[in-house]
A and B are shown apart, each in its own frame.
Chain A
Amino acid sequence: MTANGRGALRKHTIIALVEDRPGVLNRLASKWRQRGFNIESLAVGHSETPGLSRMTFVVDANTDAEQVVKQLDKLVDVVDIRDVSHENLVTREMALIKVRCDPGNRGHIIEIVDIFRANIVDVSPDSVIVEVTGDEGKVDAIFELLKDYGVIEMVRTGRVAMVRGGAASHPAPEEEQYERYPGQELW
Chain B
Amino acid sequence: MEMTGAQMVLESLVREGVEHVFGLPGGANLPLYDTIPQYYPKLRHYLVRHEQAAAHAADAYARVTGKVGVCFATSGPGATNLVTGIANAWMDSVPLVCVTGCVIRPLIGRDGFQEADITGITIPITKHNYLVLDIEDIPRVMREAFYIANTGRPGPVLVDIPRDLQQEKGEFVWPEKVELRGYRPRIYPDPDEVKKAAEIINESERPVIIAGHGVHISQAYKELLELAEKAHVPVITTLLGISGFPGSHPLYLGMPGMHGMFWNNIAISESDLVVGLGMRFDDRVTGRLRDFAPKARIVHVEIDPAEVGKNVRPAAALQGDARVCLRELNKLVESRERAQWFARLDDLKQQHPSIVFPETDEILPQFAIRKIYEATGGDCYVVTGVGQHQMWAAQYWWYDKPNTFVTSGGLGTMGFEVPAAMGVQAAKPGELVWAICGDGGFQMTLQELATIAEYGWPIKFAIINNGHHGMVRQWQQLFYKGNLVASPLSNPDFVKLAEAFGILGLRASRREEVEPTIQQAMEHKGAVLIDFQVKEDENCYPMVPPGAALQETIDLPDDYNVIAKEKTKAEVRS
Q: Is the CB of B187 within 8 A of A176?
A: yes
Q: Is the CB of B124 within 8 A of A77?
A: no
Q: Do A176 and B186 touch across chains, with their CB atoms under 8 A apart? A: yes
Considering only CB atoms, which chain A residue lies closest to B249 in the complex?
A187
Residue ID in chain B nearest A66 by CB atoms: B309
Asked if B185 and A178 sit within 8 Å, CB to CB, the answer is yes
A178's closest neighbor in chain B, by CB? B187
Query: Interface stretch among B1-9, B214-222, B417-425, B521-529?
Result: B214-222
Contact A19 B182 (CB under 8 A): yes
Which residues does chain B contribute within 8 Å of A77, judged by CB atoms?
128, 182
Per the bound structure, the CA–CA distance linking A175 and B188 in Å amounts to: 12
Is B570 located at the chain interface by the 8 A CB criterion?
no
Q: Is A4 an interface residue (CB 8 A)?
A: no
Interface centre among B187, B306, B310 (most CB of A within 10 A): B306
B453 near A: Cβ within 8 Å? no
Contacts of A185 in B (CB 8 A): 219, 221-222, 402
Q: How far is the CB of A67 from chain B (nearest CB, A)?
A: 6
A187→B310 CA distance, assembly (Å): 31
Report the nearest B residue to A28, measured CB to CB: B123
Interface status of B127 (Cβ within 8 A of chain A): yes
Cα A180 to Cα B217 in complex, Å, equals 9
1/0 per residue B238-261: CB within 8 Å of A?
000000001000000000000000
Q: With A178-B321, A185-B219 in contact, is A76–B183 under 8 Å at CB?
A: yes
CB-based contact A34/B124 at 8 Å? yes
Q: Given contacts A23-B119, A79-B182, A187-B246, are A74 and B306 in contact (CB under 8 A)? A: yes
* Cα–Cα, bound, A181→B180 (Å): 21
Partner of B120, one of A26, A34, A178, A186: A26
Supposing A66-B309, A74-B306 touch, asked if A26 and B219 sit within 8 A by C-beta, the answer is no
Whether B66 sits at the interface, judged by CB under 8 Å, is yes
Query: Which residues of B sit under 8 angstroms from A182, Cβ to Cβ?
Result: 66-67
Give complex CA distance A18, B304 in Å.
Answer: 20
Complex contacts, A181 vs chain B, CB 8 Å: 66, 218-219, 323
Q: Is A30 an interface residue (CB 8 A)?
A: yes
Query: Given A76-B148, A183-B66, are A27 and B123 also a contact pair (CB < 8 Å)?
Result: yes
B181 CB-CB contact with A under 8 Å: yes
Is the beta-carbon distance between B221 and A73 smaller than 8 angstroms? no
Mask: chain B, 157-199; 1 = CB below 8 Å from A; 0 = not: 0000000000000000000000011111111100000000000
Beta-carbon contacts under 8 Å, A42-90 to B: 66-67, 70-71, 73-80
Is A184's beta carbon under 8 Å from chain B? yes
0/1 per residue, B285-324, Cβ < 8 Å to A?
Answer: 0000000000000000000111001100000000001010
The answer to whether A171 has its CB under 8 Å from any CB of chain B is: no
CA distance A52 to B150 in the complex (A): 26
Chain B CB count within 10 A is highest, among A23, A70, A78, A180, for A180
| Closest B residue, CB atoms, query A179 | B151
| Interface assignment of A104: CB less than 8 Å from any CB of chain B | no
In the complex, chain A residues 131-187 whose Cβ is within 8 Å of any chain B Cβ? 173, 175-176, 178, 180-187
Tell me if A71 and B218 are in contact (CB < 8 A).
no
Task: Give every chain A residue within 8 A of B186 (Cβ-Cβ).
Answer: 176
Complex Cα gap A182–B65 (Å): 8
Indicate whether B403 reaches chain A with its CB closer than 8 angstroms: yes
How distant is the Cα of A34 from the Cα of B252 in the complex, in angstroms? 37
Q: State the CA gap A103–B490 with chains docked (Å).
A: 83
Total interface residues on B, using CB and 8 Å?
A: 36
* Interface pair B124/A30, CB less than 8 Å apart: yes
In the complex formed, the residue of B with least CB distance to A29 is: B123
Q: Which residues of B302-351 are within 8 A (CB) of A? A: 304-306, 309-310, 321, 323
* Tally of contact residues, A, Cβ under 8 A: 32
Query: B306 touches which one: A30, A70, A184 (CB < 8 A)?
Result: A70
A182 to B218, CA, bound (A): 10
Whether B150 pairs with A180 at a CB distance below 8 angstroms is yes
Q: Do B66 and A71 touch across chains, with their CB atoms under 8 A apart?
A: no
CB distance from A30 to the nearest CB of B (A): 5
Minimal beta-carbon separation of B19 from chain A (angstroms): 13
Q: Which residues of B contact A180 (CB under 8 A)?
A: 66, 150-151, 218, 321
Shortest CB distance A47–B (Å): 13
Contact (Cβ within 8 A) A76 B180:
yes
**What's the minimum C-beta distance from B369 to chain A, rounded to whole angstroms?**
24
In the complex, what's the smallest C-beta–C-beta distance from B386 to chain A, in angstroms?
A: 22
A175 touches which one: B67, B148, B184, B403 (CB < 8 A)? B184
Residues in A whose Cβ lies below 8 Å from that of B508: none
A161 to chain B, nearest CB (A): 21
- Among B180, B186, B219, residue most surrounded by chain A Cβ atoms (within 10 Å): B219
Q: Are A184 and B403 in contact (CB under 8 A)?
A: yes
Chain B residue with minimal CB distance to A173?
A: B184
| B185: A residues at CB distance < 8 A | 176, 178
| Chain B nearest CB, measured from A183 CB (Å) | 7
Contact B123 A26 (CB under 8 A): yes
Q: Report A-chain residues with C-beta under 8 Å of the C-beta of B403.
A: 184
CA distance A173 to B180 in the complex (A): 12
Chain B residues with CB under 8 A of A175: 184
* B residues in contact with A23, CB < 8 Å: 119-120
Minimal beta-carbon separation of A12 from chain B (angstroms): 16
User: Contact at A187–B225, with CB atoms within 8 Å?
Assistant: yes
Contact partners of A76 in chain B: CB under 8 A = 127-128, 148, 180, 182-183
**Residues 116-150 of B at the A interface (beta carbon under 8 Å):** 119-120, 123-124, 127-128, 148, 150
Cα A52 to Cα B354 in complex, Å, equals 57
- Tell me the complex Cα distance, A30–B122, Å: 10
A30 / chain B contacts, CB cutoff of 8 Å: 123-124
B133's nearest neighbour on chain A, judged by CB, is A22
Complex alpha-carbon distance, A178 and B151, angstroms: 8
Shortest Cβ distance from residue B452 to the other chain A in the assembled complex, whole angstroms: 24
Residues of chain A within 8 A of B150, CB atoms compared:
180
**A-B CB proximity, top 5 nearest:** A70-B306, A79-B182, A185-B219, A178-B187, A76-B128
Known: A78-B182, A184-B66; 16 extra A-B contacts, CB below 8 A, are: A23-B120, A30-B123, A30-B124, A67-B310, A76-B148, A79-B181, A175-B184, A176-B184, A176-B185, A176-B186, A176-B187, A184-B65, A184-B403, A185-B221, A186-B402, A187-B221
Name 18 interchain pairs, CB-CB below 8 A, sorted by A: A18-B182, A23-B120, A26-B120, A34-B124, A66-B309, A67-B309, A74-B127, A76-B128, A78-B182, A79-B181, A176-B185, A176-B187, A176-B188, A180-B66, A180-B151, A182-B67, A184-B65, A187-B222
